[in-house]
């Protein structure tokens, strides 16, 4: 990206106090923190679960402080915000069930505004949605506008950035666009594919969000930001197809496809769930373009065009350099609260002639494009059935083909515990009549190998839960037994390859 001068502020421009980032484990927040560090700021990350940041490369930076805090606990949040000259509010509740995300966003924004005022924060910075005002505004964009008003209500100066579709590797909007184009050569689409928008690269969004800290005139302002191009969604589809090297897609817009229907359609075809697709689809029915150039007046910057933004995002996907992903956001439960009743357990062990680290690497590759080592057709059928009933299915994939981190989604599982060389704990997020977990525990053996134990647990809910367990039990030998043997083969091959590479280097 061509950047104007001053993108990375030098240490002499550093503000007094640290910069607070709420939502640091989310898509934008997880990328903003390292940019702030590059610019010379001290950063305090306020997160519900600090373990979600443990694998981030910037976590051990001397200017990073990670504190645990809930945005609903105003007194505790006030303490977390004390000493901060600015605070980024990057929290949205789009994954809440039904229509309650707007109500929850109001409550969280009110708590954050009140705590910021009590803590003496210099200003709040918020990333909202771009779009025309008026009675036809979507519920999603209306909620974003309301959050702006709530954040400003406590008297703390507010800087609002309004952006349309954000193009970046791993963003929900980008994933929707990519999967629709990849999977559907012929598309019957909603009428909103003709609506104009001004997409913006995540790199440009981060530039402006960091730059504003050193431009006092941005305090208390609403800044509309966008890329170099204004074009309809169908044109983005055409560009995406070209950048993917695919034939031109046939697009047939139909006015009868409402946001409700189109979001269900998006949920079936792409990795993005219906709950997230619904507000995004509603937002696309509004024209979302920059209507004033105040951001450019205060912070001149040459933004990328749509094609270059898509090309860069695809390059990062191809090179396995996706820093953050939409599926990392949201509340992550820890160990399930087993509360009486029957707990079914399937525990299996295997000895592997490989080090614990090699076994851990093999275990942590499950899911996504790599698959599940065995019974992949059964996993695909289960994923397809889950998608039909509104679950995530096997569509979310994974952020990185080798590494996993706490809170990450692995298809329809969620990582709720990971210790390199020791263990991996997964919580099922597929639609189930009960709660399921899958744990992998690794221990060294006296012979220099490893013992791997896989434990599947299921807490049934009602008679349907019991019927479900007994219906899938006969398949466990294929799925779980095959997975253990597949992990063993992969880990032993990894060790053999490392030994061979080491011998070659020694001879060289």
CA atoms within 13 A on the CB side of 242: 11
Q: What is the pLDDT of residue 5?
A: 35
Closest CA to 41 of 102, 105, 91, 84: 84
What is 271-331 written as a DSSP string?
SS-HHHHHHHHHHHTS-B-----HHHHHS---PPPHHHHHHHHHHHHHTT-----GGG-S-
Homologous superfamily, domain 344-507: START domain (3.30.530.20)
| Per-residue confidence (pLDDT) for residue 466, from 0 to 100 | 82
Q: What pLDDT was estimated at residue 7? A: 33
Domain ranges of the chain: 11-324, 344-507
Put residue 268 in one of left, alpha, beta given phi > 0 → left and psi -120 to 50 → alpha. alpha
Residues 395/387, Cβ–Cβ less than 8 Å: yes
Q: How many CB atoms lie within 10 A of CB 484?
A: 20
pLDDT tens-place values along the chain, 508 residues long:
333 333 333 333 334 579 999 988 888 999 999 999 999 999 999 988 888 888 788 988 999 999 988 888 899 999 999 999 999 999 876 544 445 667 888 889 999 999 999 999 999 999 988 765 555 566 667 778 889 999 999 999 999 999 988 999 888 788 888 887 887 788 777 776 788 889 999 999 999 999 999 999 999 999 999 999 999 988 998 999 999 998 888 888 776 656 566 666 666 666 666 566 665 666 566 778 899 999 999 999 999 999 999 999 999 888 777 777 766 655 443 333 333 346 788 999 999 999 999 999 999 999 887 888 988 888 888 888 888 887 887 777 777 878 888 888 888 898 888 888 899 989 998 889 888 999 999 999 998 899 999 999 988 876 788 888 889 999 998 999 999 999 999 999 988 877 666 655 555 5
Buried b (16+ CB within 10 A) or exposed e, 123-133: bbbbbbbbbee
Dihedral over alpha carbons 119, 121, 127, 130 (to 10 degrees): 110
Contact 425, 406 (CB under 8 A): no
The H or E element spanning position 499 is helix 482-507
Calpha distance 266→278 (Å, rounded) = 9
Q: How many residues does the chain have?
A: 508
Considering only CA atoms, which of 442, 478, 480 is closest in space to residue 346? 480
Pairing of strands 18-22, 84-89: parallel
What's the topology of domain 11-324? Rossmann fold (3.40.50)
Q: What global pTM score does this model have?
A: 0.68
């Amino acid at each position: 990206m061509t950047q104007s001068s001053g993108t990375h502020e030098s240490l002499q421009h550093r503000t007094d106090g640290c910069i607070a980032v709420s939502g640091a484990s989310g898509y934008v927040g997880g990328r903003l923190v390292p940019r702030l560090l590059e610019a010379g700021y001290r950063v305090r990350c306020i997160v519900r679960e600090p373990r979600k940041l443990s694998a981030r490369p910037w976590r051990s930076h001397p200017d990073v402080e990670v504190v645990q805090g809930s945005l609903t606990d105003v007194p505790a949040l006030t303490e977390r915000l004390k000493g901060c000259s600015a605070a980024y509010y990057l929290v949205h509740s789009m994954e809440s069930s039904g229509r309650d995300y707007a109500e929850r966003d109001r409550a969280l924004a009110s708590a954050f505004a009140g705590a910021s005022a009590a803590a003496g924060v210099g200003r709040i910075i918020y990333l909202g949605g771009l779009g025309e005002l008026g009675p036809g505004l979507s519920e999603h964009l209306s909620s974003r506008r309301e959050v702006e008003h709530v954040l400003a209500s406590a008297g703390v100066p507010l800087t609002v950035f309004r952006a349309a579709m954000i193009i970046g590797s791993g963003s929900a909007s980008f994933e929707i666009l990519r999967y629709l184009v990849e999977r559907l050569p012929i598309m019957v689409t909603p009428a909103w594919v003709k609506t104009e928008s001004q997409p913006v690269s995540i790199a440009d969004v981060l530039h402006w969000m960091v730059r504003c800290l050193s431009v006092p005139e941005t305090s208390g302002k609403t800044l509309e930001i966008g890329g170099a191009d204004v074009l309809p969604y169908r044109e983005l589809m055409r560009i995406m197809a070209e950048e993917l090297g695919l034939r031109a897609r046939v697009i047939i817009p139909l006015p009868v496809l409402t946001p409700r229907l189109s979001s269900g359609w998006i949920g079936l075809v792409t990795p993005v769930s219906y709950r997230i697709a619904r507000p995004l689809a509603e937002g696309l029915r509004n024209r979302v373009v920059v209507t004033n150039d105040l951001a450019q007046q205060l912070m001149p910057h040459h933004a990328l065009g749509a094609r270059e933004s898509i090309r860069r995002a695809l390059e990062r996907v191809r090179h396995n350099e996706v820093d953050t992903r939409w599926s990392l956001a949201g509340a992550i439960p820890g160990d399930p609260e087993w509360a009486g009743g029957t707990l079914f357990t399937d525990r299996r062990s295997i000895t592997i002639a490989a080090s614990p680290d090699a076994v851990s690497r093999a275990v942590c590759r499950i899911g996504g494009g790599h698959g599940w080592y065995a019974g992949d057709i059964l996993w695909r059928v289960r994923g397809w059935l889950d998608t039909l009933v509104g679950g995530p299915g096997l569509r979310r994939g994974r952020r990185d083909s080798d590494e996993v981190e706490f809170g990450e989604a692995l298809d329809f599982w969620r990582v709720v515990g990971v210790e390199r060389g020791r263990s991996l704990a997964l919580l099922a997020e597929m639609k189930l009549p009960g709660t399921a977990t899958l744990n992998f525990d690794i221990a060294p053996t006296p012979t220099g190998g490893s013992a791997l134990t896989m434990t599947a647990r299921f807490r049934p809910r009602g008679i349907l839960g019991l019927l479900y367990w007994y219906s899938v039990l006969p398949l466990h030998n294929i799925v779980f037994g095959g997975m253990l043997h597949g992990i063993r083969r992969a880990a032993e091959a990894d060790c053999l390859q490392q030994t061979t590479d080491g011998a070659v280097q020694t001879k060289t």
